[in-house]
Structure 1
């Protein structure tokens, strides 16, 4: 079963920039531990860190499909990155999410498996 893990936090990008090299190394070790644990229980289908919201563009709904700068909605929390993992069940996905660095909240959401091809 596939799950989307959304990594969100207030002021994530400023907080990351403020970390020392040692703190970043600890965080990166946690990401590697997470990846290894997922591989032992399933697979990482995809994942990446994102640029800041200011670098986003949003294609708005409607016939004109107007493009605006920034994210779709103004939120306090910023989407910092994501993973798509394929593991046995929600409990396993949540257990794995707990291995990620404690710099962000992690929303764990099952995907519907709608074919895209």
Structure 2
């Protein structure tokens, strides 16, 4: 088994404007993803992240530490959450993320164990 982090990016939108059908579909897709993970591996961790206006970026610029409010990347999408899962292989991870909402842009990365 190998650990993968799945980064969830999406264009921000106002959840309060979602219809009951949209909310139900959203939760059903996350539920289907979780059931798939449980059947093929295990979920190690997951979390939703606060909005990008709460982000702090730290960079090294000319030998100095520069702290900036806001996210690292200038983009319309934001990283809104992640899953860390343990699965047999990348193909299984791809099959799993296909179950998540189609409005997401999903990035799968293997976790490197540092000892």
The count of aligned residue pairs is: 113
Specify the alignment match of 2:9 in structure 1: 8
Structure 1 equivalent of residue 94 of structure 2:
94
Query: Residue 39 of structure 1 aligns with which residue?
Result: 38
Taking structure 1 as reference, are residues 17 and 74 closer, same or farther at Cα in structure 2, changes over 3 Å only? Answer: farther
- Normalized against structure 2, the TM-score is what? 0.86
Structure 1 residues 35-114: aligned runs within 5 Å: 35-62=34-61, 63-114=63-114
Q: Distance in 1 between matches of 2:4 and 2:109?
A: 5
Give the structure with the higher percent strand.
2
TM-score for both structures, normalised by structure 1: 0.85
Distance 1:17 1:84 in 2: 28
Q: Per-residue deviation at 1:97?
A: 0.5
Alpha-carbon deviation of 1:18?
3.1
CA RMSD of aligned residues (A): 1.7
The answer as to whether partners of 1:50 and 1:81 remain within 8 angstroms in 2 is yes
Structure 2 gap segments, 5+ residues each: none
